[in-house]
Structure 1
Amino acid sequence: MSKHPDWLDNAVFYEIYPQSFFDSNGDGIGDIPGIINKLDYIADLGCNAIWMNPCFVSPFLDAGYDVADYYKVAPRYGTNDDLIRLFEEVHKRRMHIILDLVPGHTSWEHPWFKASMKAARNEYTDRYIWTDDLWDSLTGYGFLRGISEREGSVIVNFFSHQPALNYGFYKPEKPWQQPMDAEGPQKTLQAMMDVMRFWLSRGCDGFRVDMAGSLVKNDQEGKGNIALWQKVRAFLDEEFPEAAIISEWGEPDKSLRGGFHMDFLLHFGPSHYNDLFRCDEPYFSARGKGNAAAFVEKYMEYYNKSKDRGLICIPSGNHDMDRLARSLHGDELKIAFAFLLTMPGAPYIYYGDEIGMRYVEGLNSVEGGYKRTGSRSPMQWDDSKNAGFSTAPEEKLYIPLDNAADRPTAAAQMADPNSLRSEVKRLINMRMQHPALQNYSEIKFVHTGYPLMYTRSSGDETLLVILNPSAEEHKVDCCKALGTCIYQLNGSARYEDNGIVVPAQSASVFVI
């Protein structure tokens, strides 16, 4: 196993979208003091690590993924001192926290970009990717033209207000396409490592890296981006060996080779992640019409290529996906979490997924959320005003709340031993008690279809996980009796007539 920070061995992450988590000052938007106020809630759930979405100065045309100052906390969230205090409070609880780094682009309001728009050559002329001629054809790239006195068009990375930073081209094809080792791309990389150094030296434990595979352009096989991130990893290993980096890449065979400690399986890309949770017939639906075979095949391909390099992480969701509870309900959610919390890799729980928060339908876009807005509504803490999220007037809330009378709340679920949150807490506790269930331990799939069966092993301990989301009982031929059951939901699987009989909508774990 490659070198990695020790704390990643059993890390279970909780993703916080700061705008919507907890508002401490009554202005209708979540903030850093609010996160500090709720750290004990996260610790009680069993999570020992946090990923926080962007919190830096921004015009918020893309919810903070359009950074205008990498070195300053946005005033609506608090101050740099508040963020440093958050680091300290997290560490007091023996937890870790990673920030969201957006290295591929900035806001068009960033001072770097404003300087790069000037006709006269300056320090930032090559910080972004500009053509030499305003009328240059740019097939395959989004771009802006006619916005400055500078001759040329500028490439954008996502929305049109997010100009792409210049890390060079793996295979330059035109004069304006600089190679990776040119001065401009090298200075851009150094500037981003300086940003990382600034926050790591103040107590941050690492970064989730936005669009990590997109920095080097014209890099179809990912070789340029892999080489770039290997340089970043070497810098971290030398100066901050306990810092972790996780990529939004979705191709672990590339990202982990590039030096990332972890990569997400994402709702886009080739992973078949959505076959499990978000499609017409999700595998974890009680209808039992789903298919996990393509997911398992791709997962094991990635796993066998990268298991000695790092972790493949399967999140419950994130700020870009539909809520898990939009397609799964009731015990379907519990069994989905039984899967998420018994698989290898560091689990990631999106705030509110642990209580089954719903996708809020029919919302207008907020801060570039568009269809994603319904997954970013305020955390539902209790039955008080605004679900305990904020004391502000309802019309001032960052995003409207789920207004259903039966909306789930953290307080109610904490008081109910049969709630989804209580089940998630029980699963995390089991994961922490058994090395075979932790992040770097081995996995082998025994059966796909219904039920899904796999073993997890570490040292002398081997566990068998059996999951049947279907509303029908299933039997699998097997000549070997089951061992000791250490976890069950809706009854445990049993050995009967030379086979394993698995109850409907059940989950169980055995020591074998």
Structure 2
Amino acid sequence: MNPKWWKECVVYQIYPISFKDSNGDGIGDLQGIISKLDYLQDLGVNMIWVSPIYKSPYHDNGYDISDYLDIMKEFGTMDDFDTLLREIHARDMKLMMDLVLNHTSHEHPWFLESRSSRDNPYRDFYIWRKGKNSGPPNNWESYFSGSVWEYDSLTDEYYLHLYSKYQPDLNWENPVVVDKLHEMIEWWLKKGVDGFRFDAISHIVKAAGLPDADNPNQTATVRAYDLFSHLDDVHTLLQNLFDNVLYLYDIMTVGETSGLGPEQALNYVGDGRRELHMTFQFEHMYLDAASAGSGKWDVVPWSLVKLKEIITNWQKVLHRRGWNANYLCNHDQPRSVSRFGNDGQYRVKSAQMLATFIHMLEGTPYIFQGEEIGMTNIAFDTIDQYRDVETLNYFKEKRAEGVPENEIMNAIYKKSRDNARTPMQWDHNEHAGFTTGVPWIRVNPNYPEINVEEDLKNPESIFKYYKKLIALRKKHKVIVYGEYKLLYPTHEEIYAYTRRLDNDLLVVILNFSDREPIFQMPDEINLKGINMLISNYLPGEKDDLYHLKLRPYEARVYLGKSHLHKH
């Protein structure tokens, strides 16, 4: 079982610019987070993950850091951060920082020095190359569209950026860079932070010689993916970071590592690897993409059978060998209830069902701000109301290709990162109680009905249901450590599975549809002594667990003793 506190915790992600504004400038800040810590403590979460708050010109919402050891002035001061950390710890919670090690801002002092001349001592902190054939050094394409190379006329060379041109990639082949990053990480650990989420960590090593990608059947980004992702030296560098810095502290680490399966993930999180505690996998995030090569914007209906296949594979491969990070939503993804549930008639029931799904799996559950009240996607009227650089680039690129505007906007409504970035809906006052000023991005107009104030008053609310789930996880070790087994893998509406630990048996039954399918408890599960642990509906008077008619988006969890399980 190998118990660890980071396996038993529940993580709540805060996107600070959108969480709570304390001073009326329309931008969420650290004092705003501090003012809501009692709310998070009441929810029951143990770990707060805060998206980047470092000094930044904010071209990519703080994932472009210009000073690792300072706070962005719009968010507050280092004194505010120290207060936040102290207040979190006073409530017996922990704080996880979001750290970008693949790249910095183009305004970082290192890069300003690096671009000043070819013989500057900082030149080799980044990846510079001469162009070839009057163009970029290779044909790699950026995640945010266009080439990964930006020409700089001052020194007549190109610098590499996997993301936007405002985010030049660091050169991890330079040991001085590595040492400086290690020093910076230790500086935060000495302050008392309790962990890190390492952004884009699988990209820190690029293929030797930076060769052209040569798979003509894929988009340029996918073609080049194997040339800058999950290369062997990534593991060497992470092990060095662990051995030199991280192992000295009792912290939690999670890596953003798209494009891998569970066996490959064990290279990062396998017991004894000395790298990371868990990684965010992305396989289920591509369920509604037409193909791996078509990009996220080409949206198709997703399949529950495929979701079961993906999650089951991760549950089984990592059991007793590594650890899962379980999530359905974050700052880069659409709202989970709009994507995997029903954000109309069954918003409450489907949000509660999805929460049951995530919290009953083996692994650490992650809640993204607003998920606990069932916040939904946004459909802004015009592209001018969007703020996300990826969304704006996509719109511009597709319009230039002649794609009709309504077609582009329909994809944006489903997949824009701004779906998750609209302000937290606290109450039914103007701007949802997020700010007394003008918010940096518009509030979802459904805030009068969907807000924290309403959920706190309603005993059947999504918030109250999350609170019960989290409390159950703290009480029953089988929810944390039990071995997963899928039931009915090919059923297109019901997702059911068991978890077993010692003598405890958990049975999880989830209806992922607005219909009323019949669930039949497998004959090998003896129902004597089995009790309902939680459900998002009141149980029926004449429930027959061998022939159970499920209501739309119903979730049921039962707990029994596994010695009642017939082998």
Structure 1 residue 349 corresponds to structure 2 residue 367: yes
Deviation for aligned residue 1:132: 4.3
2:279 is aligned, of 226, 249, 263, to 263
Aligned equivalents of 2:314, 2:387: Cα separation in 1: 36
1:109 is aligned, of 107, 110, 115, to 107
Structure 1 residue 156 corresponds to structure 2 residue 165: no
Q: Secondary structure at the match of 1:106?
A: coil
Which residues in structure 2 correspond to 1:21-420 (within 5 Å)? Answer: 21-133=19-131, 135=134, 137-140=137-140, 142-168=147-173, 184=174, 186-218=175-207, 219=227, 222-240=231-249, 242-250=250-258, 251=260, 252-257=265-270, 259-266=275-282, 272=287, 280-281=300-301, 291-327=303-339, 328-329=342-343, 330=347, 331-362=349-380, 364-366=385-387, 368=389, 370=391, 371-392=416-437, 396-404=438-446, 406-420=448-462
Q: Secondary structure at the match of 2:558?
A: strand
Aligned equivalents of 1:249, 1:44: Cα separation in 2: 32
The residue that corresponds to 1:488 in the other structure is: 535
1:189-213 Cα deviation digits (max 9, x unpaired) = 2222222111111121111111111
Structure 1 residue 507 corresponds to structure 2 residue 525: no
Query: In terms of mean alpha carbon deviation, does 71-80 or 242-251 score higher?
Result: 242-251
Aligned equivalents of 1:302, 1:165: Cα separation in 2: 31
- From the two aligned structures, give the one with the greater helix fraction: 2
Relative to 1, partners in 2 of residues 1:302 and 1:236: Cα closer, same or farther, differing over 3 Å? farther
Q: Is the 8 A contact 2:377 2:420 kept in 1?
A: yes
Q: Is the 8 A contact 1:265 1:315 kept in 2?
A: no
Q: Is the 8 A contact 1:60 1:66 kept in 2?
A: yes
1:443 is aligned, of 465, 476, 484, to 484
Structure 1 residue 467 corresponds to structure 2 residue 510: yes
1:60-94 Cα deviation digits (max 9, x unpaired) = 11111111111100011111121121111111111
- TM-score w.r.t. the length of structure 1 is 0.86
Alignment RMSD (CA, Å): 2.6
Task: Give 2:139's aligned amino acid.
Answer: T
Aligned equivalents of 2:432, 2:370: Cα separation in 1: 12
Aligned equivalents of 1:144, 1:221: Cα separation in 2: 21
The residue that corresponds to 1:179 in the other structure is: none
Task: Give 2:351's aligned amino acid.
Answer: L
Q: Secondary structure at the match of 1:105?
A: coil
Aligned equivalents of 1:374, 1:297: Cα separation in 2: 27
Deviation for aligned residue 1:124: 1.3
Relative to 1, partners in 2 of residues 1:267 and 1:70: Cα closer, same or farther, differing over 3 Å? farther
Task: Give 2:281's aligned amino acid.
Answer: L
Deviation for aligned residue 1:101: 0.4
1:106-135 Cα deviation digits (max 9, x unpaired) = 111111111111325233111111114575
Q: Secondary structure at the match of 1:246?
A: strand
> Sequence identity, in percent?
29
The residue that corresponds to 1:425 in the other structure is: 467
Aligned equivalents of 2:548, 2:322: Cα separation in 1: 35
Aligned equivalents of 2:45, 2:153: Cα separation in 1: 48
Q: Is the 8 A contact 2:129 2:137 kept in 1?
A: no
Q: Secondary structure at the match of 1:115?
A: helix
Q: Is the 8 A contact 2:427 2:448 kept in 1?
A: no
Aligned equivalents of 2:354, 2:119: Cα separation in 1: 55
1:161-220 Cα deviation digits (max 9, x unpaired) = 11111124xxxxxxxxxxxxxxx2x22222222221111111211111111111101256
Consecutive unaligned residues in structure 2, runs of 5 or more: 142-146, 208-226, 291-296, 392-415, 561-567
Deviation for aligned residue 1:28: 1.1
Deviation for aligned residue 1:378: 1.0
1:27-77 Cα deviation digits (max 9, x unpaired) = 111100110110110111111111111001111111111111111000111
Query: In terms of mean alpha carbon deviation, does 116-125 or 78-87 score higher?
Result: 116-125
Q: Is the 8 A contact 1:118 1:148 kept in 2?
A: no
Consecutive unaligned residues in structure 1, runs of 5 or more: 169-183, 283-290
Q: Secondary structure at the match of 2:507?
A: strand
Aligned equivalents of 1:305, 1:341: Cα separation in 2: 19
Deviation for aligned residue 1:318: 0.9
Aligned equivalents of 2:230, 2:446: Cα separation in 1: 47
Aligned equivalents of 2:37, 2:164: Cα separation in 1: 33
Task: Give 1:317's aligned amino acid.
Answer: C
Deviation for aligned residue 1:260: 1.1
Aligned equivalents of 1:486, 1:143: Cα separation in 2: 51
Relative to 1, partners in 2 of residues 1:63 and 1:71: Cα closer, same or farther, differing over 3 Å? same
The residue that corresponds to 1:171 in the other structure is: none
Deviation for aligned residue 1:19: 0.4
Query: In terms of mean alpha carbon deviation, does 121-130 or 17-26 score higher?
Result: 121-130
Q: Is the 8 A contact 1:216 1:225 kept in 2?
A: yes
Aligned equivalents of 1:27, 1:165: Cα separation in 2: 33
Q: Secondary structure at the match of 1:453?
A: strand
Q: Is the 8 A contact 1:245 1:261 kept in 2?
A: yes
Q: Is the 8 A contact 1:222 1:254 kept in 2?
A: no
Q: Is the 8 A contact 2:150 2:161 kept in 1?
A: no
Aligned equivalents of 2:239, 2:544: Cα separation in 1: 52
Q: Secondary structure at the match of 1:225?
A: helix
Aligned equivalents of 1:349, 1:273: Cα separation in 2: 21
Q: How many matched pairs?
A: 477
Q: Secondary structure at the match of 1:426?
A: helix
Q: Is the 8 A contact 2:51 2:97 kept in 1?
A: yes
Deviation for aligned residue 1:481: 3.4
Deviation for aligned residue 1:492: 4.9
Relative to 1, partners in 2 of residues 1:158 and 1:108: Cα closer, same or farther, differing over 3 Å? same
Q: Is the 8 A contact 1:20 1:29 kept in 2?
A: yes
Query: In terms of mean alpha carbon deviation, does 347-356 or 243-252 score higher?
Result: 243-252
Q: Is the 8 A contact 1:451 1:466 kept in 2?
A: yes
Relative to 1, partners in 2 of residues 1:406 and 1:75: Cα closer, same or farther, differing over 3 Å? closer
1:127-166 Cα deviation digits (max 9, x unpaired) = 1111145756312253344424334211112012111111
Query: In terms of mean alpha carbon deviation, does 157-166 or 468-477 score higher?
Result: 468-477
Structure 1 residue 452 corresponds to structure 2 residue 501: no
Relative to 1, partners in 2 of residues 1:225 and 1:97: Cα closer, same or farther, differing over 3 Å? same
1:286-334 Cα deviation digits (max 9, x unpaired) = xxxxx33333333333344433343212223111111123242321111
- TM-score w.r.t. the length of structure 2 is 0.78
Q: Is the 8 A contact 1:253 1:302 kept in 2?
A: no
Aligned equivalents of 1:477, 1:379: Cα separation in 2: 40
Aligned equivalents of 2:289, 2:46: Cα separation in 1: 26
